[in-house]
Structure formats: structure tokens, C-alpha cells
Chains A and B, each alone.
Chain A
Amino acid sequence: MDRNIVKPVYKIAAAVVALAFAACNTDELTELNKDPNKIDYVIPEYLFTQVELNMPYQHNGLHQGMQYVATYKDVPDIGGKQFDYISGFGGETNPFVIYSTQFNSIKQCMDALTAPEDVNKIALLRIVRAYNYHMLTDATGDIPYSEAMGALEGNLEPKYDTQEFIYHDMLNELEEAATSLNPDLPTFGSADVLYNGDIGKWKKFAYTLMLRLAMRLSNKDEETARTYALKAIDGGVMSESGDVAYLKYSATSTNPRAPYTEYQATQDPDNAQGAKLSSTLINQFKLTQDPRIYVLSVVWKPQGGEYVPDTTMAAQKGMVPGSILGYPADFPTYSEYSPIWWNRESSPLVLLSPAEAQLLIAEAVLRGWYSGVTEKEAYDLAVTRAMQQWALWPNVPSLSPNNSTISQDQINAYLTTGYPYKSGASFEERLEQISIQKWLSLLGDDYEVWSNWRRTGYPRFNYKNWQGNQPYPGSVTGGEMFRRLPYPDERATNNANQQEALQRQGFPLDPSIKAQSDALLGRVWWDKP
């Protein structure tokens, strides 16, 4: 054979053999599997920031159910219609997604904190964990708790713990965490977006949350409730405007309490599938000459081809929940949210506030558990802080007709003539006033308002407004507000444990979506009739 040809023959043969060897080399393959856009280790500070950002949850249905808003038929309204099944916690079809996002992050962050001086950091994670767990159990009842988060250890089917156990453990967790906080030990520093590492403020957060949780048990387990309420008040709860825990948002970050994106930009009546402010809220504002109406409410009126805001109190009109079948031609004439309110992506979001802390104290005084202040003092302070809180909202003159800051004069007028505390009224009347004020002051924190409504029965909402006093045609609850949210369907994932929990609580055993919506009137452990 020609030498000139033999040479390339050997080269090709050698290349084939080299290729064969390359085929067996898996190191290079493993390297390919590394995603250049991801890391494979935990940076506790960064993860903690995410844990804080994960704290808020929102459910639009609750917002309607608490009659802040009302809408017409096309949107499955829960504030008076309930003609359809509803989604679970967080508005999710899988309400337990909070485990894989928030609780998993908390666990992985805690696992990464191994140094003895990480006491504060661990304590903060325990406080946040209780904050999120109580929201979930309040909404759904018994939930996986002690065995949760076990996937990496091989437990894919955690058992459900009773709400009673969870509440006692959360109260205990908060107490331990609050007492372990030590200003001399390291903090998350600037990675802590709520308090910038201020341990004193975290302590107030922990005790305010403890007070909220304690008061939740007022009907079910008064002894525990009183004990922890006093521990919390003694430990020190939020009282100053600067104590408020809130998150800031940017234009690109997703604000979980921006329910209707179509509101964000339009100042005209086209936000049709969105909701209008309900008559319940507008009537309350008008009745008490509440200055918040100017901050929150607007009617858009056509003027020369454009729409201009009308924020006068006289112009405001609320839609009666559950009264309208089909889109009404006068839809544009109802009040809707002012653009500065939570429909802006950059609106802040309050997680826990001094207004709530002071209203809880007022209730503790009302119940005779505490006497360090009067009910009225606590109530007045709560209202003051609640109204001052609006200053956190950005003032956007081009979009917003009013400054969000409410003056001290306006506050004083409201406390003296608008809606002064009825110190001499009956227990129920005073409880109602405190609860109505919570409804107004915690606007946006609908899980908490809903829990408070379930516990106290206030504010008194009317859900049967169709043709006067009928339940809306087809209402699955016969015109009642639901008292719990469905579990996720765990037939495919954790059936036996869920069945056990359903049975224990007396809920229908069929976990299908339809059956779950039949169980909406079921009550969680602390929701004692």
C-alpha cells in the first residue's frame, strides 16, 4: 500500500481508539452537569434575607370574604357568593408549598448555622418559623409539624400534628427564642431586612407575635391564653411607629399583595374583573368620618375623554357584596382602591404592627387579664399608630390624589368624634369595636383579620344580599363565610396521614376538591363556636 496513504490510515485508527477511550471518561461529563448559574452551598445571610422576603402570604378570596371589596358574578367572589370551590392557603392549589419554600429555607439556614455564637440567628429563624406556621395552621387546621421537612432524611410522609400541639409548641418556641436573644452576640446585620440586626426590635416582634397567638386561644384554652398574653406584655410588645415589621418592594419584585395587576396602571373603569370597594367598608368609613377613606378610596370620573380621580367622601360608593348577577353597567361608578394602596408593586407590606399589639393589649385589659393601661389608652395608641403607618406608603403625586400621611389633627378628630372608644359599653360592644378597628388597621393582613373574625365574630358581615336577603344563587355554603381552607389533595403523596387528620377533626374524608369545598364550614381547633 502506498505509504502516503498508510499514514492517514494510522492517524484515523488512532483517532478512533482515542475516541473510544474518551467515551469511558466520566470526569468531564460530571463537570458538564454543573449549572454555571447556580451554587451548591448555603450562605446563611443570603438565605435569611430570602426567609424574611418569604414571610407574607395573601389570599384574594379572604380579602373579598372580609368584605374589603365586592365584585360581580364573573369573578368567583367569596365575599357573598361562594359558588365555587376555593384554592387553599396562599391562594395556591398546593397550599403546602410554604413548606418547600419557606420552611425548607429556614431548615437549611439553621442547618448551616453550626457555630456556638449563632444563638441570635437561630432564634430569629425560630421566630419567623412560628410566624409562618401559625398562619398555615390557622387557615387549615392540623398540619405536618414535628415530622415535617424530613425529605432529605428519607421521611416523605410526615404525620399531621394537632393544632393544639402546634400552638403550645409555637408559644414555647417564641418564649425560648425571645429569651435567648442576646445583643452582645452576632446578628445577620444588614442581611436582616426587617430590623437591620436590631435584637431589641426582634424581641418586641417575638412578644407581639406571642400575644397574637395567645389571644387566639381565648375561647378554647383561656388559661394558656392568659399566661402567654401576660408573658408577652411583660416581655415588651410593639408600641412605637419604628417597631413595625414591614417589607419594601421594588418595581420588579413581586409584591404578594398586589392582587389585580390591571389596577396598577389604569385610572379608569376598565379594571372590570377586579373588585370594587365594598359597601361594608365604605359605609364604615363614612359613618365614622374615617380619614383613611381619602387615602384608600377613589372614584374615577370621565372628564374630557380622560378619567380623573374623585376622592371626596360624598362621591364614594361601595358595592354590596353578593348582590349583583352579571357585570353592571354602573360598574365604573363604584369606589376602588387608590393607586397608592397595595396595587402598586412598590407599596410596602406590613407583617406585624404596633397597632395590632396595642389592640391586643386593649382586649387583654377588656378580658381583665392585664391592667397596666386602660382599654382606651391602648385603643387610642393603636389607632394613632395605624393611621401613622400610612406614611410608609410612597406618595406618588402623579398617580395619587392625596398624600398618604394622615395628620395628628385628623387622628384626634377620629378618636374624639369619629369613632371614639366606647369605654362604657358592654363587653361585646367593646370587643366588636376593637375587632372592627383591627379590621381597619390591619387592612391587607387578611389571614389575621379572618382569624380574628372567626374567634370573635366581629365585624358582623352580611353575606346574604341577593334580592334583599337571599344567598347568592348557587352559593356552596348557603351564604355563609367559610371557616377554613382546604388541604392540598395528598391522595397521591401522603394519603394515610391526611386521612387520619381529617377524621380527627371531623372533616369529610374525601379530599377531592369538590368535597373540600363542602368542608369550608368546618372549624379548626381554636375556632370554638
Chain B
Amino acid sequence: MQNYKNSTASTSRRNSFALFKLLIVMKLCFVFMFITLTQVNAKVFGQNASINLKNASIAEVFKEIKKQTNYDFLYTMETLQDVSPVTINVKNESIVNILNICFTGQPIAYTIKNSTILVQRKAKMSPFSYYDQKAMQDIEVKGIVRDELQQPLPGISVLIKGTGKGVSTDAEGKFSIRVPLQAVLVFSRIGYKTHELTVQNANSVEITLVENAEELGEVVVTALGVKKERRGLVYSAPEVKGELFTQARDNNLASSLTGRIAGVDATQINAGPGSSSRVVIRGNNSLSGSNPNQQPLYVINGLPMNNSNSGASQNTTGLNVDRGDGISMINPDDIETITVLKGGAAAALYGSQAANGVVLITTKSGKAQQGLGIEFNSVATMGTPSVYPNFQTEYGQGQNGTIPTTVAEAQASGRLSYGAKIDPSIQYMQVDGKMHPYAAVSVKDNINNFYRPSSDFTNTIAFNAGTDKFNGRLSLSDLHSNSMQPNSTYKRQTANLALMTKLGKNDLFVINSNVQYNIVDGKNRPTVGYAEMNAAWPVYLIANTVDIRNLAPGYDPVTGKELAWNPAPEAPNPYFIVNRIGNEDHTKRYIASTSVQLNLDPHFFLLGKAQRDYQYYERSDYVPIGKNSTPFGALNTSNGTQEVTNIQGTLNYNNTFFDNFGVTAMAGANQERTTFVDNNLNGINFVVPDFISLTNLGTITTTATSTPPLHNIIRTGTNSLFASADFDYKRAIFLSLTGRKDWFSTLNPGSNAIFYPSIGTAVVLSDLVRMPQAFNFLKLRGSWAQVGSATVNAGQVNQTYTISTTNGYNLPSQIVSQNLPTPDLRPLTVTTSEAGFETQFFNSRLGLDFTYYSKVTTNDIVSVNISSASGFTGGNVNIGKVTNKGVEVLLTGNPVQTNDFRWDVTFNYAYNKSRIVELAPTVAEISLGNGIQGARIVNRPGLPYGTVMVIQPKYTADGTPIYNSTSHFPEGEEVPYGVGAPPHTLGLTNNFRYKNFSLNVLLDGKFGAVGYNNLMFYATRFGLAPMTLEGRDNGLQLEGVDQDGNPFNYLWTPENIQAYYNQIGRGYSALFTYKTDFVKLRRLVLSYNLPVSKLKFIKLQGASISLVGNNLLILYRDKRVKEAGLDPEFQESVTNAQGTGGVNMPRTRTFGLNLMVKF
């Protein structure tokens, strides 16, 4: 193998142009092959030409011939080195004769293939028989071809470059061929990047072919599961292969999309394993906040699945945990591909559900193979905190400059660092009743001492067997995750069975069945958001001289009563949280689908599909007797079912006319029904301690009208008709049309239907016109579509009343809905248009995909506030106009490629500019949500989507601070500070492969957003933030002007400084609002593919071992974020109200090991 170092690599060291030249050669070969394949020019020999040239370069002769005939020449400038000038004067001479004249005595030879003349350097043999094997000085080359996972690749074409001759690899990927020395072997197969090898002298080679996602002729899954050739797509539809999700994995599949696809913003909050994700495609369309959920439609194997979110909400008290979303239950190991339909035209066939884009998931299916195939994958990862806040360590625990001397004083100042100057030689009293040194305790140590490293184990085994006619795949997977928060675990077990059978003559029936069954168990999931049940809150915010471990075990072992460490019962003892309170959830879910395809003749088939996504869940959480804020305890329980059923039938037709016109047409109908049932039973006041049962409660608090209610049922349905037609001419010009009409149950007849059209076209320009040599491929595409949605909950458009008997009289009372009935509500419309191009250069070693898009949402359905004085607080109305415009760029490159080493780069970048163009005249603003005690996230006309409004101290035009003459605090004003969701997103993937090693490095970045941080709000109130140091000794002198413009002077004395910073903390949210820009080293995978062919005794088909890392480094963040010691991704919510963060568990950095074995 050593001898087979690729000649290109060594050349490139000598000559910087060599690579470029090689690329030209490769390009020429490609053009040659392409012309051959498509037989565009079938001119016969015997054309003549007249040439009169004196002392001309041979290239000029070629040019002249080309001008007069249909012949093309293929050569490189290198080929023509030291070729003598020629003098020729012929009239109407045959081409062969002309060439013979010019080539006599030259070091080059020619070959005519159809209308192409290939010019090459002469070998030692006769110039006219260069490719005549008999005459060659041949050697035998043997070898084996494998894929990146070291699986042998059968059926790989091994061609001697420039000859069209060659062999294929056998079932074990082996080949043997006789070739001349210096000949170039071309290894190719659709779906893989072509590999070239110059034969030097040895006779045994090992070749690894790399999959090529952008390969021409590649097939992608599009709307309704229809497979289309990528070259014919009229829109951008990036696809991600399943492998990317399995090595360095996120437990939530959707979060793995981070940085992968331009225009797809995927985030996850830090709420422990199994938490939900937020995926937004090309910006937000809809003006509303969290409801309805505006995440894309997730489609699994062609039909929609339920992605309802049990995520954490903003600014809530009590148990606020993230129990994940629908996508978080899907096992990454079962994913074949994920395709993202970003634009309207791509998704229009999904109608109403597609307004936010579509994520198409195709799960793995069986494959024909001999015997039983077994694949085993095991992953173990460990996570530790990655970022720590920077707090002051000059003044310790206490109030008004004093050091606590009694337990009562220690408790009074438990979360206040307004004490004396820190002095480790002083002993002082803490809430545990013991004396401790008055020494700074780093919040970093407290975080590391309270939390444990997280661990995560996933084992998946998959079996595959069958023939072309009948095959199946079964996978079983087990995930066990221990959160960083002690006693918190998450488990997920999945089973996935895919069966396919073909029956009858010519595969008359093709039946596909797919069932997946998932069991998810969460235990003691960490609380996020506000304090009450949130263990992170005290760990971060306890006074800076207290070791958090002094609060352990958090309760009195005899009475069970929480050990209070501060005056606010809502600020809990973190050890009480992890040791005493609890929550559990169990979800069982199946997604079962069957499709029957009836192939009536080669051009026509019927396809029926049905899928049911059903889940049953049980959830509970409790606080035992003894928690200071809930002294007698509480228990909440709920269970329910969620069912989404789709039945679909389509008639499909495809044919080709006049050899060049292709037609694919489809028409069908779909019926979707969803039923969500939720039962709740909550109560307070346990009778017997430590007996957590509904039967042990003093009072049941759940009623028909409480929140949550005893019983809640939501039923919705959508009926749809749709059709599509795709036309192509010579597979180079494509036209795509779709139409769909939806009828919604949530709107009233008369205004409940909407039609969605789309049209798109794509032109493969490189097939139609002659392109500069560097271009391999150029496609232009453009599309326009309208999609819409009825984003309103069941039963909301009409006036309804609930009946309650929850009162002191047990009498029925009737409660009027505060929601304005709007019986004429219509569906909203999203109009999208996009244009773009895809191009590949230098033998596909460089690719660029560019898209510009524009989305306009009109008549949005928004639950707006109206003046309550009109009788209702709000209602759903059709209002507004939102625009999102943006560009997406995907650059792919293969800068280095040798036999042993290969470097691939993928860079994606997206920019989305949103704007609220108008709301209704009566609606000046729509609120999306609030940060905890801080920012408001709003939509206002003229501002971008999701603007973060915060209160900022006021200054005069020349920068003088303005103070209130009565309160002596800064005057404040509410200002728009920025947007919560980043407009710029980018991802950079570098993939290096050296022999059996590969290294995949993903960087991702987001820019242009801001976020309000509640941790820093409290850190300032409590005297932890460094900014609170000013004025502790001598007071803080304020100078400026007052609200009337008069000079203002005021000294906040050291005795009052605590009151000053307390109000600075609570009153001016702008001070805690940061630019959340970042670039992170998101993911790193170092893999070693075991050379299984050398380990024949264990009969492995393939094996690899990988070191993986996630969230490894913050390469860039804003200065203020860095100073505060925050992770710029501190968002607390997966709703549309982005731009706020609470006090959450630390972000983690994870490392792990991944083992894959195939038998």
C-alpha cells in the first residue's frame, strides 16, 4: 500500500497548479463519460476540415478542427508540454489524416471516441494502440473496495481511465484487473464519490469510497414520502444521514440538527436528559407565543407524528420540568435519513401542517442479505459543568456590613453577601449551627460539589434478514441516563420493527409495515425556571462564604422538615429538593404504520397508508410534609392519552413520452384525527408522613374548572384532498406543481377550508449549455407556494361556559369564557418564494448551494389582548403581516484527497431577517412571554420578530444619568433591546480521514440575538455580582440630573447600599441582558474503523470505536457574557418567547465512547 501513495498528492507538493490540473483532467473525464452516457452527439467519422497554419501550436490546430467540425478535444496543458509546433495546409481533409499529420513525431497520441478526441502522452508503445491491452506493458492490480465503515462494497465499477474498460468488484468488494503502468483506475458507484488511483508498481490496493450526499442522481425523500431525484428538486431540501445522530449523540434527535443545516435553528434548554428541543426553520411565521407550538411538522415514514411538547414553561412556579417532546422519544439508531423541507413549495403537500416547515424522518428498513445481519452499537458518555459564573469574593455573607453571629442572623442573611470584608481568620455562625471560617467559597466549587458528573449509556442491537421479496429489521435499544442532578434519571427503551413484502407477479402488492414501541421513564427530572423546586437556584445564589454542602442533607432526619437557610421559603434547600421531593413520569408510545402499494402496471400504482401514533402517559410529582413553602405536602398526578391517526390514499402515475418528457402525477386524500385526553388529580396536606399516595391526602384540589382541570379532552380533525404533477424534459428542465385543500374542525363551516398551491422549476444548466471547464454541475431553481394553517385550539372560536361546583356552597356555578368568540375566524396564509442554485466545481470537490427565500405570513391567527373593558381579555383574530427574508449558503469542499488521507469541509450559514409589518389597528403589540421578573418578549409593528423589551436606566442626550429626585434611583424606561432568536446561524464541519481513522469536528455559531438573564438579576440583588462592590465602604455618590432636569446629587450611604442594589437588581432588566453571540466547538468524533478483513477469525463485517465529545469549548462569546461567566445559550424555554434565561442547571460538556460492531 505504501507504494500506492497517490501521485496527485506528491505532485501538489511540487507544483501548486498540479491539483488544479488534475481536477481539470478529472473534469474532462467526467464530461467525456457523461457525453458517452447520454449519447448527445452521435456524429459519424469521416468529417473533413480545411486548415492552413504555419508554426502553430497544436492547440491551435485543435481549436480550428473544433470550429469546423463537431469534434471535441480532451487534453490538459501538461499533455501538450514539449509538443513541437506544426505547419499544416490541407483542404477538405479527413480528420484522421489531419491528426496523423500533426501527431507524427510528437510525444502524444490520440484516440477518437464518438465525437471526442482524447489526447494523451504516448506510452512506450505505438501511438495508435495506447489502449490496446495486448500492446500494453501490463501489470496485475488486485484490491478491495470498502466504505467508510470498512464494509466491503460489491458492484463498484473499476475503470481504466480513458478506456471505458474495466471490471466490477465482487460480493466481497474484491477486484482484479490488468492495467498498464501509470494508468489511472477510476472507482465509482452512484452514491459514492469517485476515487482515482494512478497505478505505480505494486499489485495490491485497498480503496475506501466516501459517500457522496450531493451525488447526481441521488434520491431524496420528499413530501408524503415520495422519493425524488435530487437534481429535479425545485427547492432546497437538505438531508442528514442517520450516522450523524448516533455517534456523538444528543438524546433528543432534533437537537442534533444544531449547526447541520442552513436555516434550521435547533436548540435545547438545559433541563436534564430527555428534555425537549426547539427547532425553527427560516424564522418564526406566526405572531403568537407558545400556543400553538410553532415547531415544524415531524413526519415519520411519510405520515405526521405527534410532537406535542411537555416542555418547561417560562416564569412559572412550582414544579416546572421539561418532560420532552414527541421527537425526543425517537431512537437515533433507527434513523436512516432526515430531510428538512424548509420552503413552502417543498412542504405544500402537507398543507396546513407545513406552515413551519417539515422534518421528514425515514427510519431504517430491512435489506436483502444472506443469513442474519446483526449490528450492535454502544455509547457511554459522561458530562461535567462547562461554565461557572464570576461572583465577587471581597465581602462575605451578612447584611448591612455585619457578620452573622447567630443561627437566626445566618438564616436572615442566607442569600445575602452584604457582610463584612472577607477574612478567613474569622469564624462565623452558619445555618447549620456551626462556626465556619469567613472565607470565600467559589460558586464553581459549590456547583461541582452539589452536582455529580452526568452519565449516559445507550445500547442498541439490530437484526436484519430477508430477501428482495421479503425482509425485515428489528432493533432494540436501551438508554439509561443519570442527570447531573443527584437522584435524577431518565430511561428510554425502544423497539422498532420494519417489515416489507412483495407479492404477486411483477410485485403487484408491496406491503410495508413499521411499528415502533417506546417506553420513556423519567425520575426526579430537574426543575427549571423560578426558585421553588429548583435545586440550581440555591446552589448558585447562596451567600458567597457558605459551602453548599453545609446545607446537607437538607432536612431534619426526625421531623422531615426542610432545613431553612434563608428567610424565603420559596428559596429551597437544594438537598431537600434532591433528597425529598420527587417526580416521575412514564410514557408508553407506539407508532404503527402500514402501507399497501398496488402496482397496477409499470406506470400506475395505488398507495394506501395508515398510521397511528398513540401514547399513554402517567405523571406525578410530590412534595412531602416538611417543605417550608408547602409545609403539609402536595401531590399532583395526571395521566392521559394522545392519539394521532392518519389515513391516506393516493393514485400515482409516471411515464416518459417521446424519450425526453417525463411525467409523474399523483392525487390523493388524507384524513387526520387527533384526540388528546388528560386527567388530573392533585391534592394537598398529607395525613401520614412519607406515604405518597392520593389516598393519603387531606384535600383534593382538582376540580372541573381548576387548572389543570379534572378532565380535559381536545379533539381535532383535518380532511384533505391533494394532487401533484412533476414534468421534466431530458431530466434537465423540471416543473413541479402541487395543490392541496384542507378542511379544519377547529373553524366553523364557511371559513374552515383553504387551498394551497405551489409551483416550482429547476434547470440543470450544465446539461443544456456549455459551461466553463471548472463547472461540473449547475442547477438553478425557483419556487413559489402558499401554505396555511388553522392554529387554533379545539372549541375556541365559539362562546362556551364551564360549570363548577367548587365553592363554599357546593352549588353549580357557570363560568364565562374570557375569550372573545370569533366564529368567522379563517385560516392564516404563509406565502413563500425561494430561488437558488446548486453548483459543483472541480470534479465535485467544491460545491456551493445558495438559496434566497422570502416568507410572508398574512391573516395570522393570533390570540390578541383586547381591552378587557370590552368584556373579554382577548380573542383569536386574523391579523397582521410578518415577513421573513433570508439567505442560506452551503459550501462543501474536499481540499485534500489521497489514498490514505481525505479532508472534507462543509460550511453552512443562514441569515434570517424578520419583521412585523403590521398588526391590526387595535393591536399595538402582541406579547410572546416574559422572563422571570424581567424582560418582556413582544411582537410590535416595525420591529423584528420576538423583540426583547427591557427596562434601562435613563440618560440625557449627552450621557448624564437621570435620577428620580424622590426615590434616588435611576429613572427607567422600557426599550427594545434586540431579538431573542439569533438571525445568523452557522455551522462548520470538518471531516478528516486517515487510513482507518476519522475525525469529525463540528463548530457552530449563532449571532445577533440578546437574552435577559435572571441569575444575574438575583446575583445583583443579593450582592454576589461584582458591580455591587461599589459604595460598600464609603457609600455611592450619584451625580446627574433629576427627572425635571435639575442637578441631582445623592449619597447612598453604606447602611442603605443594600437597598440600593436590591432595587438596581430588580428594577433595571437591561443591566442583565446580554448579547448571546457564540461560536462553540459543538461536537467532536474521533473514530477508528477496525480492519475487520484482517481479523477474519472473528467474522466481523465491520467494527468501529469512537471517542466523542459534545459542547466542548466556547470559542467566542460576548465580553459581558464572558465576564459574567455565563454560557451564552442560557435560554430557559422552547417557546417562541426566546431571549430569557432562568437559574438553571449548569450546561454540560460531555465526553464518551462509542462502539459499533456488525456481524
Q: Which residues of A are interface residues toward B (Cβ below 8 A)?
A: 2, 5, 8-9, 12-13, 15-16, 19-20, 22-26, 28-30, 32-43, 46-47, 49-50, 53, 72-74, 83-84, 94, 96-101, 103-105, 107-108, 143-144, 148-152, 155-158, 190-191, 193, 247-253, 262, 265-266, 270-273, 325-332, 346, 472-478, 488, 490-495, 512-514
Contacts and interface: CB of A to CB of B under 8 A. Distances in A.
B631 A265 contact: yes
B924 to A, nearest CB: 4
A107 B871 contact: yes
Contacts of A35: 713-714, 794-795, 800
Contact of B866 (A29, A34, A151, A476): A151
Interface in B788-811: 794-795, 797-804, 806-811
B871 A32 contact: no
Contacts of A83: 967, 969, 1059, 1063
B745 A29 contact: yes
B687 to A, nearest CB: 13
A49 B1059 contact: no
Nearest to A49: B813
B408 interface: yes
Contacts of A47: 801, 813-814, 816
A270 B628 CA distance: 7
Interface string B1002-1033: 00000000000000000000000000000000
Given A15-B608, A104-B871, A32 B816 contact: no
A26 B719 contact: yes
Interface size class of B (residues with CB under 8 A): 35 or more
Given A33-B797, A105-B816, 15 more contacts: A12-B596, A15-B608, A25-B719, A33-B795, A37-B712, A40-B800, A41-B801, A266-B631, A272-B567, A273-B567, A327-B567, A474-B1056, A478-B967, A488-B868, A493-B922
A100 B1063 contact: no
Interface of B: 399-400, 406, 408-409, 411-413, 416, 418, 504-505, 508, 564, 567-570, 596, 598, 600, 606, 608, 628-629, 631-632, 647-651, 668-671, 673, 685, 699-701, 703-704, 709, 711-721, 743-749, 752-753, 794-795, 797-804, 806-816, 818, 820-821, 865-873, 875, 922-926, 951, 964, 966-969, 971-974, 1052, 1055-1056, 1058-1060, 1062-1063, 1066-1067
Contact of B567 (A40, A74, A493): A74
A94 B720 contact: no
Contact of A150 (B413, B803, B870, B971): B870
Given A47-B816, A83-B1063, A96 B809 contact: no
A46 B803 CA distance: 8
Most chain B Cβ neighbours within 10 Å, of A84, A253, A330, A493: A493
B719 A193 contact: no
Nearest to A467: B1055
Contacts of A329: 406, 408-409, 412
B1110 to A, nearest CB: 40
A49 B564 CA distance: 43
25 contacts: A9-B606, A32-B673, A32-B716, A33-B794, A35-B794, A38-B801, A47-B813, A49-B813, A94-B868, A99-B869, A99-B870, A100-B871, A143-B869, A156-B866, A193-B807, A248-B808, A253-B808, A270-B564, A327-B413, A474-B1056, A476-B967, A493-B867, A512-B973, A512-B974, A513-B974
Given A37-B713, A151-B871, A326-B400, A12 B606 contact: yes
A383 to B, nearest CB: 27
A157 B922 contact: yes
The 10 closest A-B pairs by CB, nearest first: A248-B808, A144-B869, A16-B649, A35-B795, A494-B867, A46-B814, A96-B868, A492-B924, A151-B870, A272-B567
Contacts, number: 326
B386 to A, nearest CB: 32
A451 B1050 CA distance: 35
Contact of B870 (A53, A148, A346): A148
Contacts of A33: 715-716, 745-748, 794-795, 797-798
B409 to A, nearest CB: 5
Contacts of B872: 100, 104, 151
Given A35-B795, A270-B628, A273-B567, A250 B808 contact: yes
B570 A273 contact: yes
Contact of B808 (A12, A39, A247): A247
B638 to A, nearest CB: 15
A525 B651 CA distance: 74
Contacts of A156: 866-867, 870, 922
A472 B709 CA distance: 44
Contacts of B713: 35-37
A23 B722 CA distance: 10
Contacts of B799: 40
B870 A23 contact: no
B508 to A, nearest CB: 6
Contacts of B411: 327
Given A273-B567, A325-B400, A252 B1058 contact: no
A96 B803 contact: no
B598 A12 contact: yes
Nearest to B741: A23
A71 to B, nearest CB: 11
Contacts of A43: 812, 814
A101 B705 CA distance: 14
A144 B967 contact: no
B1122 to A, nearest CB: 31
A492 B923 contact: yes
A42 B673 CA distance: 30
Contacts of B1063: 83-84, 474
Nearest to B923: A492
B966 A193 contact: no
Contact of B794 (A32, A42, A253): A32
Given A12-B596, A33-B795, A73-B1059, A20 B721 contact: yes
A266 B865 CA distance: 39
Most chain B Cβ neighbours within 10 Å, of A22, A492, A495: A492
Contacts of B647: 19
A171 to B, nearest CB: 21
Nearest to B973: A514
A59 B715 CA distance: 39
Contact of A474 (B598, B753, B808, B968): B968
Given A43-B814, A50-B813, A105-B816, A94 B671 contact: no
Contacts of A251: 699
Nearest to B710: A37
A150 B649 contact: no
Given A5-B508, A16-B651, A253-B808, A158 B816 contact: no
A375 to B, nearest CB: 36
A250 B400 CA distance: 44
Most chain A Cβ neighbours within 10 Å, of B570, B721, B809: B809
A293 B9 CA distance: 96
Contacts of B631: 262, 265-266, 270
Given A12-B608, A104-B816, A272 B568 contact: yes
Contacts of A272: 567-569
Contact of A476 (B820, B964, B974): B964
Contacts of B685: 265
Given A47-B814, A272-B567, A253 B969 contact: no
B400 to A, nearest CB: 6
A251 to B, nearest CB: 5
Most chain A Cβ neighbours within 10 Å, of B399, B416, B596, B814: B814
Contact of A23 (B701, B721, B925, B968): B721
Given A100-B873, A152-B871, A329-B408, A84 B1066 contact: yes
B564 to A, nearest CB: 6
B795 A34 contact: yes
A100 B818 contact: yes
A97 B874 CA distance: 11
